Structure 1
Amino acid sequence: MRKHYLIEVVQNDQLIVFCPPEVIQDKKMKRIAFGSKSMEVEFLPHPDQNDRIVISRKIQEAIQFPPFTIPLHAFLENEILYIGPLVGIFTAGFTSFPQQPIGERTLFFSKLLSVNKSVGALPFVFGEHHIDWEQGTIEGCFFHDHAWQTVEVPFPNVIYDRLPNRKSEGNPKLIKIRERLQKEYLIPWYNPGFFNKLDIYERLQQDASVTHYLPETYPFTSFSSIETMLSKYGHIFIKPKNGSLGLGVHQVIYDKYSDDYYCRFQDKCEVNRLRKYSTLERLFQSVFANQSLDRMLVQQGIHLIRNEQRAVDFRVHTNKDDLGKWHVTAIAAKIAGQGSVTTHARSGGDIKTINEIFPKEECDLFTEKLSNAALLLSTALDTNIEGIIGEIGFDLGIDRNGDVWLFEANSKPGRSIFSHPELKEFDFLTRKLSIAFAVFLTEQSLLHPEELFK
């Protein structure tokens, strides 16, 4: 990680910034900036402190720096010393309760913001109603000293998109805000948009380095196409193009010996069901009677490796770091519940570490295969999708031949795997890097804006 400095505020009105000599060196500096605010100041080397940048109360008020003593990075460009990054985390679903400002997601955000000291960044949470366009400021929700507090700050250096669902993402008012901050204020905005399964599949099909990870996937068109896939693979999955959490996933199985069809799914009462039908038409009339099939896709069934007769797939998290490089930050095994069509916990699934369920040799082999696949897929998605991606959660499977398959890629991955006690450190790592990536984006926006906004 890059070096960062403690930002200290002293109680005087001098327009002087004291910096470590290594920051000043022979550089010519005229202004200090924080977020979108800057002012002209004098720079002097700090007489006896090499770990901090000291600003006066007057400078603090002018650039709207919060009243916190915190470590931040220092960027120099065009005779301006930028301290930051100031990272705005954009979301929706705010409440009027001071101790629970983002409702049931407050705990997640408090943990996310708590990585600030280890990263050298200052993150805050905000929504559309916190923005003052005339003043160019935001009433940011900060988590500092184990408590929530609201502080007015300038527009941030970068924005991390944490909108909670597709409904908020499709809200015209929120779309307009994102476009305005990106286009008028040139603020890098990362992790925009939930992925569409079919769109992801079609884009990855264009990249020869990852096509071997892709199961056959098509939009639903006709019974005959399903019959063809069933005769080829024995079973298929029918799932919503924009689904999540395993909702609406159906497994259709064809028994060529009895000429019967089976459908495994979870009903509205969250009970796992397995039904038998004599024809495919009867299956669809019964199971999909009230569903719009044009919103569905059909995917090749994979014979997954098993643990105690239960199918296993894997959640693999990847994150970019403060140098813009991809890393695998967490791997967990998800074991299907009894009679479940998916491995989700809500369907009776269990979360385990790989070394809990496989011998060391297999564990090492699977970890390497999953890591290699996730890094290749991350790079491919980064190349083939619009916008700036900083994190991805992959659902990957390994079949009985040891081949890796991609089932889903999530731009805003859930965090249920981190309930496992042995995955706590990876929970911290994923949060840390999701904010550390803002350091890279801030530097890029100052030094190479043409790369970000091309």
Structure 2
Amino acid sequence: MKNTVMVKELHGETMTVKLPPQLFRTSLGGIGFGTMQLHCSITVHSDNSDVLYMSSDIISELNLPLHRTLHYFIHHDIFHIGPLIGIFTAGFTDSLLRPIGERSLFFAKLLSTEKSVGVCAFVFGAHLINWDEGTVTGYFYNEKEGWTKQNIPLPNVIYDRLPNRRTENHSGIKSIKHRLQSEYLIPWYNPGFFSKWDLYQQLIQDKHLNKYLPETLYQPSFKDIEQMVKKHKHVYIKPANGSLGLGIYQVVMSDEGTYYCRYKDGEENRLQKFSSLKKLISYLFRHKNLDQYLVQQGIDLIRYENRAVDFRIHTNRDENGTWRMTALAAKIAGRGSVTTHLNNGGMIKTLEELFPAKETYEQLNSSLQNTVLQFSQAISERTNGCIGEIGFDIGLDREGHIWLFEANSKPGRSIFSHPKLRMQDRLTRELSMSFAIYLTRLELERQEVHYK
């Protein structure tokens, strides 16, 4: 890895750091880890290695985990090592075996990439911040020891992995987020769940991208739905801030003028017939309000074994801040299902499995990649906060036209259950960590300009 050092303990000296000759600067007078900085003696060693030696008192003061390869950043007279990444979430338990409940495995897999990326990462929550000391009690993970807790400086960067909108909108969480960003100048990435409607309004104005967007209306009246069904013959009514395909209704008008609705009721997929659209809406929304729904143009998707197919595509920004397509899979709807989600009986295929002809595969892969990278750039420029990863739900109609159905700032990872997507699984996790390197460098440079 470029711009990295291996951190080892220096015996027999105090408040001293020894650097490789190629990294030594006479102006250096301190070491930084996370948001903590210590003034110390910085000298040079002659090991002809990329090792940084640090006296035990500095290690203790910084609470620095040893024997790690970390990136370095030289700004002002401080030699910073890291980045130290705090993964912010909620839902902690009292168990050190599963400290974040059912999501512990996800976080363990995420933290397992830190060595290959060259970062130091931990998981924390609002209740674990020690404001008076400027530290946090973080959960660390490694395969040998499992989960451990350790006091650590506040991080260089915070990666937002809050589990849901309700937690995200809690006033206490908002207050903590504001304090960490304003008082400690800590960059915070992937800060919130996207609003489907807000995102649609922003993207529909882009003349290069609006051709990929199905017609969509928010808070539709009955007349709006009626006009959409007459125009497209097929629409989806979905929660404006829903997830996992829950609460979606597919409405189809037949040539005879009757209406069919497909939806999930508990664990069952249902298909019901109505003599009029009015009866359909009255029945399905008898206990609900359309104020929190969208109506979206239905698309005649390509099919596999007579089942609808769409695509889940992940994009991530790397340590240079550049967007990359990191994973692509086809999702095939379950029998009688309104969506392609696995929990509705769907299944996952790779693009090669779906399109074995090399030329067809390469052409479609390139088209999908170009499309999602354009959207990734546009979304990151148009939304508040710093976006480092996006999961797209993309459709392909029978005419070969690409459609964007949804973009998710905290995408699910069900596609990675496919054995041929293990490399993509790891890549998405690695780049979600690598992006912190870019943000740390950017923030230090910003502080340097402000300092001068």
TM-score norm. by structure 1 comes to: 0.96
1:222 aligns with 2:211: no
1:394 aligns with 2:389: no
Identity rate, percent: 50
What does 1:7-406 correspond to in 2, within 5 Å?
Answer: 7-24=7-24, 26=25, 28-66=27-65, 68-146=66-144, 147-255=146-254, 257-268=255-266, 270-360=267-357, 361-406=359-404
Query: Within 2, Cα distance between the matches of 1:19 and 1:4?
Result: 12
Query: Within 2, Cα distance between the matches of 1:324 and 1:2?
Result: 16
Query: Within 2, Cα distance between the matches of 1:175 and 1:343?
Result: 34
Q: What letter corresponds to residue 10 of structure 2 in structure 1?
A: V
Asked whether the equivalents of residues 315 and 376 of structure 2 are also in contact (C-alpha less than 8 Å), the reply is yes
Q: Which residues of structure 2 form unaligned runs of 5+?
A: none
How many Å apart are 1:39 and its aligned residue?
1.3
How many Å apart are 1:226 and its aligned residue?
1.4
Query: Within 2, Cα distance between the matches of 1:369 and 1:432?
Result: 25
Deviations 1:372-414 (CA, angstroms, capped at 9, x unpaired): 1110000000110010000000000011111110000000000
Secondary structure at the counterpart of residue 398 of structure 2: coil
How many Å apart are 1:220 and its aligned residue?
3.0
Deviations 1:191-217 (CA, angstroms, capped at 9, x unpaired): 011111111101112222211111101
Query: Within 2, Cα distance between the matches of 1:337 and 1:386?
Result: 36
Q: What letter corresponds to residue 41 of structure 2 in structure 1?
A: E
Query: Within 1, Cα distance between the matches of 2:276 and 2:394?
Result: 31
Secondary structure at the counterpart of residue 203 of structure 1: helix
What is the Cα-based RMSD across aligned positions, in Å? 1.4
Query: Within 2, Cα distance between the matches of 1:384 and 1:160?
Result: 20
Query: Within 1, Cα distance between the matches of 2:45 and 2:387?
Result: 39
Secondary structure at the counterpart of residue 399 of structure 2: coil
Deviations 1:295-348 (CA, angstroms, capped at 9, x unpaired): 000000100111111110000000000000000000000001111110001111
How many Å apart are 1:131 and its aligned residue?
0.4
Asked whether the equivalents of residues 220 and 293 of structure 2 are also in contact (C-alpha less than 8 Å), the reply is no
* TM-aligned CA distance change 1:2 to 1:291, over 3 Å: farther
Query: Within 1, Cα distance between the matches of 2:2 and 2:233?
Result: 53
Please say which of residues 206-215 and 331-340 is displaced more in the overlay.
206-215
TM-score norm. by structure 2 comes to: 0.97
Please say which of residues 226-235 and 183-192 is displaced more in the overlay.
226-235
Query: Within 1, Cα distance between the matches of 2:292 and 2:200?
Result: 15
Q: What letter corresponds to residue 229 of structure 1 in structure 2?
A: M
* TM-aligned CA distance change 1:374 to 1:434, over 3 Å: same
* TM-aligned CA distance change 1:449 to 1:390, over 3 Å: farther
Q: What letter corresponds to residue 51 of structure 1 in structure 2?
A: D
Q: What letter corresponds to residue 129 of structure 1 in structure 2?
A: H
How many Å apart are 1:27 and its aligned residue?
5.0
Q: Which residues of structure 1 form unaligned runs of 5+?
A: none
Query: Within 1, Cα distance between the matches of 2:101 and 2:225?
Result: 43
Query: Within 2, Cα distance between the matches of 1:96 and 1:158?
Result: 26
Secondary structure at the counterpart of residue 448 of structure 1: helix
Asked whether the equivalents of residues 304 and 400 of structure 1 are also in contact (C-alpha less than 8 Å), the reply is yes
Query: Within 2, Cα distance between the matches of 1:271 and 1:2?
Result: 53
Q: What letter corresponds to residue 109 of structure 1 in structure 2?
A: F
How many Å apart are 1:13 and its aligned residue?
4.1
Deviations 1:27-71 (CA, angstroms, capped at 9, x unpaired): 5201111111111112222211422111010111122213x2100
How many Å apart are 1:12 and its aligned residue?
3.5
Query: Within 1, Cα distance between the matches of 2:406 and 2:179?
Result: 31
Query: Within 1, Cα distance between the matches of 2:92 and 2:198?
Result: 31
Query: Within 2, Cα distance between the matches of 1:40 and 1:343?
Result: 56
Secondary structure at the counterpart of residue 393 of structure 1: strand
How many Å apart are 1:145 and its aligned residue?
4.5
Asked whether the equivalents of residues 37 and 64 of structure 1 are also in contact (C-alpha less than 8 Å), the reply is no
Query: Within 1, Cα distance between the matches of 2:448 and 2:384?
Result: 15
Count of equivalent residues: 448
How many Å apart are 1:450 and its aligned residue?
9.5
Q: What letter corresponds to residue 345 of structure 1 in structure 2?
A: L
Secondary structure at the counterpart of residue 420 of structure 2: helix
How many Å apart are 1:99 and its aligned residue?
1.2
Query: Within 2, Cα distance between the matches of 1:450 and 1:288?
Result: 57
Query: Within 1, Cα distance between the matches of 2:207 and 2:79?
Result: 44
How many Å apart are 1:293 and its aligned residue?
0.8
* TM-aligned CA distance change 1:448 to 1:231, over 3 Å: same
Q: What letter corresponds to residue 202 of structure 1 in structure 2?
A: Q
Asked whether the equivalents of residues 13 and 59 of structure 1 are also in contact (C-alpha less than 8 Å), the reply is no
